[in-house]
Homo-oligomer: A and B are copies of this chain.
Amino acid sequence: METTTVQSDRELFIKIVISNWELQNKRLNGLLDKLSDEQVAAEVSPNRNSGVYLLGHLIAVSDGMIPLLGLGEKLYPELENIFIKNADKSGLEKPALEELRQYWNHVNNRLTSYFSEMQPEDWFTAHTAISAEDFAREPHRNKLNILLNRTNHEAYHLGQLIFLK
């Protein structure tokens, strides 16, 4: 009986975090559907990042969750250098916007598929970038925390991308 409670509690936590991640994705997808390629190519505000850069950045960060959560290999490892390690005006060649739109959907579909295969207890284990000592001291820094943190990160940039409208 108590084991059932532990399990159902965990499933509830996971549902809270995943549903908030899905909500941000839904909002961003709704925005992307409304914007023309020209609009996404523009800067979100004068002398700030372009929509293309921010979309690439969000793809690279979400893709990075795959190895960070121990789920597998990144789909687009080449994006890290272009969209995380370097700034918008780096001069590095970016994938075409049409490709980025596809990558964004592909990464999210892949994550959704991985999440559906995870067991509730998996979410409460350490992510792959924290040491055993740190995790023993700070057990809240688990995989679920990563998804929650990345959801906030997506919301942050969504607040900027909305200015493309």
List residues of A whose CB falls within 8 A of some B CB.
2-3, 5-6, 9-10, 12-13, 15-17, 19-20, 23-24, 44-46, 48, 124, 139-140, 142, 144-145, 148-149, 151-153, 155-160, 163
Known: A149-B20, A153-B155, A159-B157. A6 touches B2 (CB 8 A): yes
Closest to A1 in B: B2
Q: Which residues of B contact A152 (CB under 8 A)?
A: 20, 23-24, 151-152, 155
Closest to A9 in B: B9
Q: Which residues of B contact A15 (CB under 8 A)?
A: 140
Q: Which residues of B contact A148 (CB under 8 A)?
A: 16-17, 20, 148
**Given the complex of chains A and B, what is the CA–CA distance between A29 and B45 in angstroms?**
23
Closest to A153 in B: B155
**Given the complex of chains A and B, what is the CA–CA distance between A19 and B25 in angstroms?**
23
Q: Which residues of B contact A19 (CB under 8 A)?
A: 140
Can you list 15 A-B pairs, Cβ within 8 angstroms, ordered by A? A2-B2, A12-B142, A16-B145, A17-B148, A20-B145, A23-B152, A45-B163, A48-B163, A148-B148, A151-B152, A152-B155, A155-B156, A155-B159, A156-B156, A159-B159
